[in-house]
Amino acid sequence: MATEHIVVVGAGQMGAGIAQVALQAGLRVSLVDVNKDGLAKGADRIKAGLKKLVEKGKLDAAKQQAAEANLATFTSAREAKDVDVAIEAVTENEDLKRRIFLELDEVVRPGGILATNTSSIPITRIAAATKRPEAVIGMHFMNPVPVMQLVELIRGAATSDETYATIRTMAERMGKTTVVSKDYPGFIVNRILIPMLNEACFALMEGLGTAEDIDTAMKLGTNQPMGPLQLADFIGLDTVLYIAEVLHKGLGDSKYRPCPLLRQYVDAGWYGKKSGRGFYKY
């Protein structure tokens, strides 16, 4: 199955990162975002990322030029033609994603694939909004995409073997290592990661240690590059809370209940690095 032309919907940090690694792999990419300013910033982020790789000697100038020539930007997915694969990378909002998939169902050629970068929303439910549920799959990249090696592949109830095999091959072409998860809340990474971050929030709330001591203890005691509270700030506390709520609701176990301190910070607008304040000030 051909995967030479992909559409990436969403030009934020994740979407731009996905587009960049696809371009580095020699794919033709149409980057789509309804926000013109956001689209321009996304394209600039991609070009800056490619330039940095050239400066580091990890990409030659000819491949940089070819990659930039393979990038097109649109404010509507309907403007893209002959699309083999669509990768949706917008905000974690199920209604929004389902609306986008309805549109992508009409944009991607017959036999093409619809992928979502969701970190928590059931693939089966997203697929049910389309006329081709067998061609829908989760393709969860890690942030920052150009640096992180992992891609979680999530098969919905109807995802075909051909769809899985094609997307796995495409991810490997992008230089990624893949793992496969069943379509259960949180998949693999967030099923394990979010409870850890949430427990760090409880530890802070209960006065077990300061934010700095909790993070230092986990970094040096478990050989992690970043402490859990700092990582939560980097992900976005609103996103951490949202996924914790998905786990709590989807699995029905009280051990996944979101920490009240985490909820309070989100209510205050303290989302972490992106807002200038979370468990730390930026």
Does the active-site annotation cover 248? no
Q: How far apart are CA 68 and CA 210, in angstroms?
A: 46
**Which residues, in sequence order, are CB contacts of 258 under 8 Å at separation 6+?**
198, 241, 244, 245, 248
Q: How far apart are CA 244 and CA 195, in angstroms?
A: 7
User: Does 149 share its domain with 197?
Assistant: no
Q: What is the pLDDT of residues 162-195, one digit of tens each?
A: 999 999 999 999 999 999 999 999 999 999 999 9
Structure token digits, residue 152: 């979680």
User: Does 128 share its domain with 162?
Assistant: yes
Known binding-site positions for NAD(+)? 10-15, 33, 92, 97, 119, 143, 274
Q: By the 8 A CB rule, do 241 and 258 touch?
A: yes
User: Does 241 share its domain with 224?
Assistant: yes
* pTM of the predicted structure, to 2 decimals: 0.92
Annotated active-site residue in 5, 70, 152, 181: 152
Annotated active-site residue in 119, 120, 181, 198: 119
Q: How far apart are CA 84 and CA 46, in angstroms?
A: 21
Which of 151, 182, 213 terminates a domain? The answer is 182
* pLDDT computed for residue 38 by the predictor: 96
Instruction: Give 158-162's long-range contacts (Cβ < 8 A, gap of 24+).
Output: 158/124, 158/127, 158/133, 158/134, 159/123, 159/127, 159/133, 159/134, 159/135, 160/134, 160/135, 162/1
Which of 161, 182, 203 terminates a domain? The answer is 182
Does the active-site annotation cover 119? yes
Q: CATH number for the domain including 62?
A: 3.40.50.720
Q: Which amino acid is at 257?
A: R
What mean pLDDT comes out for the span 5-11?
97
Q: By the 8 A CB rule, do 265 and 240 touch?
A: no
Q: How far apart are CA 190 and CA 120, in angstroms?
A: 8
User: Does 217 share its domain with 161?
Assistant: no
Where in the sequence is the domain holding 89, given as residue range(s)?
5-182
Known binding-site positions? 10-15, 33, 92, 97, 119, 143, 274
Annotated active-site residue in 30, 140, 198, 248: 140
* pLDDT computed for residue 201 by the predictor: 98
Q: What is the pLDDT of residues 206-262, one digit of tens each?
A: 999 999 999 999 999 999 999 999 999 999 999 999 999 999 999 999 999 999 999
Q: CATH number for the domain including 218?
A: 1.10.1040.10
Annotated active-site residue in 30, 190, 198, 248: 190
| Phi/psi of residue 274, nearest 5 degrees | -70, -20
Q: What is the pLDDT of residues 81-122, one digit of tens each?
A: 999 999 999 988 899 999 999 999 999 999 999 999 999 899
